[in-house]
Amino acid sequence: MRRAAIVGGKRVPFARSFTQYMGVSNHDLALGAVRPLIEAYGLQGKTLGEVVMGAVIKHSSDWNFTREVVLDSGLSWNTPAYDVVQACGTSLEAAIAVGNKIQLGQIDVAIAGGVDTNSDLPFVFSREFAHIMLAANREKTFAGKMKQFLKLRPHDLKPHMPGVVEPQTGLSMGQSCEKMVKEWNITREEQDELALESQKKAAKAWAEGWYDDLVVPYNGLSKDNNVRADTSMEKMAKLPPAFDKKSGKGTLTAANSSALSDGAAAVLMASEEWAKANQLPVLAYLTHCETAAVEFKQAEGLLMAPAHAVPRMLEKAKLKLQDFDYYEIHEAFAGQVLCTLKAWESNEFCQKRLGLSNALGKIDRSKMNVKGGSVALGHPFAATGARIVAGLAKMLDQKGKGRGLISICTGGGMGVTAILEK
């Protein structure tokens, strides 16, 4: 098969929700990333193999979301498009879908990406309200419509705000991660230390200008506004628990958890032949991928699926966990990263739950999230995968060789993982 090349990526600055992008739609945020990508690589008016994007939280009017983005992007209207959604792994899954088609020869070039905003949430009314409105719409006369409207009760008019909770457990992701860190005996100090590393690395990368060619100013914002260069262990220690507030044993805080964020990211992928013919660079190749899911009500922690996906991917790639120059492990929570690392170091977990003969072992933490992770940069759910793919490809290109591992946990007890190589 052909190789799937990463040519480049663009994203808007990630913003804390309810700040800079208040009221900006998914559609407009996505264009903030896609249009600069098209302009950077001279794609205006061209027909691509396809564009694949997604958003975790969408309005009902976003039923044809990615196609509408394409129609307003400057690409030829002959470019097909479709949506994918796999929670926080959405845009990495989009890149995998694109990469597979490129390798199979179905398409030559495509854009993969994702977007999410909590600052333009779709509020909905009760199902009873919706059913009454539908019944009224079917009536042919004014009297008939009024008869239906009179069935409304005050409680029917109370809007419902979308909530990020698991329908199977009724727990938020943070509450679920609190259960995980207690199971794996992860301390708050360990979580704060990882969060501090993330902030310091992100601040250093921004100060050095490393993000300048990846991030495009948008809506008055020129850099991620969640990065805290001046934070410290002392400042973090003063924050109260964010999810387990009553037991006295809560360890997840606003400082060691990724903040609700708004943003969009996109990557351009192509065959080697297409990139060469269009005189465009190849930063890295998407070579392997794996997704996994776990039973998270009783058997496993909600965010532990990457711990299962990575070893399966390593086996197929004939690689060890230590055979990487960079590790991009999505920091939904610092505690989640630490649980995953501890699981890979555990003989009991690897033998009993993964069916391996021995533990996968430790990684060199200095190679992990070297330009900052989601705790510092922010986590617009569907945009994180594309952010990571573009950044990791750039790091491998600058190094001139090497291999990087991507691991993303998602809602619903799933994990999406991939390997990039130069």
> Which residues form the catalytic set?
88, 379, 409
Amino acid letter, 208: E
Take residue 185 and report the two structure tokens written for it.
């005996």
- Sequence-separated (6 or more) residues with CB below 8 Å from residue 28: none
CB contact at 8 A, 26 and 55: yes
CA angle (339 as vertex; 246, 177 as ends), nearest 5: 35
Report which secondary-structure segment, H or E, holds 204.
Answer: helix 188-207
- Residue 152 CB: number of other CB atoms within 10 A? 16
Cα–Cα distances in Å, from 103 out to 98, 108, 122, 386, 421? 9, 9, 38, 19, 15
**Alpha carbons 81 and 90: distance in angstroms, whole number:** 15
H runs (alpha helix) in 7-154: 26-40, 65-71, 90-104, 127-138, 142-149
**Alpha carbons 298 and 282: distance in angstroms, whole number:** 44
